[in-house]
Amino acid sequence: MTQEQDAIAPHGNVLVNRIATPAQQADLQAQAEHLPRIQLDERTTSDLELIAIGGFSPLTGFMDQADYEQVVQHMQLANGLPWSIPITLSVDEAIASPLKIGDLIRLDDPTGTFVGVIELTEKYPYDKTQEVIQVYQTDDLKHPGVQVVFEQGSVNLAGPIWLLERQPHPQFPKYQIDPAASRQLFRQRGWQTIVGFQTRNPIHRAHEYIQKCALETVDGLFLHPLVGATKSDDIPADVRMRCYEIMMEHYFPQERVILAINPAAMRYAGPREAIFHAIVRKNYGCTHFIVGRDHAGVGDYYGTYDAQHIFDTIDPQALGITPMKFEHAFYCKRTQSMATTKTSPSDPEDRIHLSGTKVREMLRRGELPPPEFSRPEVAAELAAAMKG
């Protein structure tokens, strides 16, 4: 089926594919031992993967200086297309210095495995403090995203990439549905409106409530939990995925919901990352994107609804995906159901508010989240995982 039959065009109108053909792969393997080599960390490896499969369309490689500076300062690429997070390959000066423009550079993953190449078109220094202040709104080293920037190299390498081979995900191969495949699935199901949902936390009743509210107004729901690098105290990806499998089996209409993984790493950039998450889901074929309370936030660095307000600063047509904004949901004791301040008649003391952070704290204390917060099967899965 043609691109025109998709519900929504990719960002920049072309779905990027930078996965090497068998012939290219053989050629790159033959050169591998003679190429200059860079070892990627977990986050940059997932960035390489997402560029290659089109999740970061229209990017075909790591950002050059013009794109980088426009993204940091103005939340757009050099061509004016909205983009909120720098996607860079940062190395130490000692590594960058001998590299020459035009070099083909071998990229290895954290285990030392050859996974791709970059065709070097530019190398440039950058201001780390300026980047973190603009992107994360803080230079506090306790912020996990800020910490990553200050620990990475001082020179950015730019250029188009090739992923050597699309490998099945080591943990979740059945849920590895790349953008071309998700778009095909949406077409097969006849979905014209699809809402994407992002989370790095186990699903709880508030998530379920806003997902189902959104599902009332669109053709399909794309549950897209992030399984790349997260903070050490976040619930592991395999546990979160088992919780989603439980929900799919017992609590969702399976013909109207697709569960897939997002291989990206978390930046914890709050409002800017909300925009970024929306663009990625647009590339996967979503027409709408759920933005809830403190989306992609961490600690107290961002206001409760800053991630919703930032969408009001961007031209909706240029962004091309519709945000669905939800207030913080809670369990209302009076109506004995999930609600928000828009729908609940109860007083504040009759509302049970729980967050992913509170649940993690309860589980560490050996307490089971109450049914008002979590479906019992999910609570049992989380408790068993914490004991294990």
Instruction: List the structure tokens of 347.
Output: 């007083």
In single-letter form, the type of residue at position 313 comes to: T
- The CB density around residue 269, as the number of other CB atoms within 10 Å, is 28
Instruction: List the structure tokens of 210.
Output: 């806003």
pTM: 0.95
SS3 196: strand
Domains and CATH numbers, the chain: 3-163 (3.10.400.10), 173-387 (3.40.50.620)
pLDDT for 232 equals 81
In single-letter form, the type of residue at position 67 comes to: D
pLDDT for 130 equals 98
pLDDT for 5 equals 79
User: What residues does 15 pair with on adjacent strands?
Assistant: none
Answer yes or no: 17 catalytic: no
Q: Which residue in the list 18, 106, 200, 240 is annotated as catalytic?
A: 200
pLDDT for 204 equals 87
In single-letter form, the type of residue at position 23 comes to: A
Q: What is the CA radius of gyration of the chain?
A: 21
Q: Which of 282, 276, 281, 274 is nearest to 303 (CA)?
A: 274
E-state strands within the chain: 37-39, 61-62, 89-91, 104-108, 114-119, 122-125, 155-163, 194-197, 220-223, 257-259, 288-291, 322-325, 330-332, 337-339, 351-352
- The CB density around residue 168, as the number of other CB atoms within 10 Å, is 9
The pairing of strands 288-291 and 194-197 is parallel
C-alpha span between 147 and 229 (Å, rounded): 14
In single-letter form, the type of residue at position 305 comes to: Y
SS3 76: strand
In single-letter form, the type of residue at position 1 comes to: M
C-alpha span between 190 and 341 (Å, rounded): 35
Q: Which residue in the list 106, 156, 201, 267 is annotated as catalytic?
A: 201
C-alpha span between 340 and 245 (Å, rounded): 26
Answer yes or no: 205 catalytic: no
Task: Output the tens digit of pLDDT for each of the chain's 388 residues.
Answer: 344 479 999 999 999 999 999 999 999 999 999 999 999 999 999 999 999 999 999 999 999 999 999 999 999 999 999 999 999 999 999 999 999 999 999 999 999 999 999 999 999 999 999 999 999 999 999 999 999 999 999 999 999 999 999 999 999 999 999 999 999 999 999 999 999 999 888 888 999 999 999 999 999 999 999 999 888 878 889 999 999 999 999 999 999 999 999 999 999 999 999 999 999 999 999 999 999 988 999 999 999 999 999 999 999 999 999 999 999 899 999 999 999 999 999 999 999 987 767 777 888 888 888 888 889 999 999 888 887 6
Instruction: List the structure tokens of 285.
Output: 């074929």
C-alpha span between 229 and 243 (Å, rounded): 19
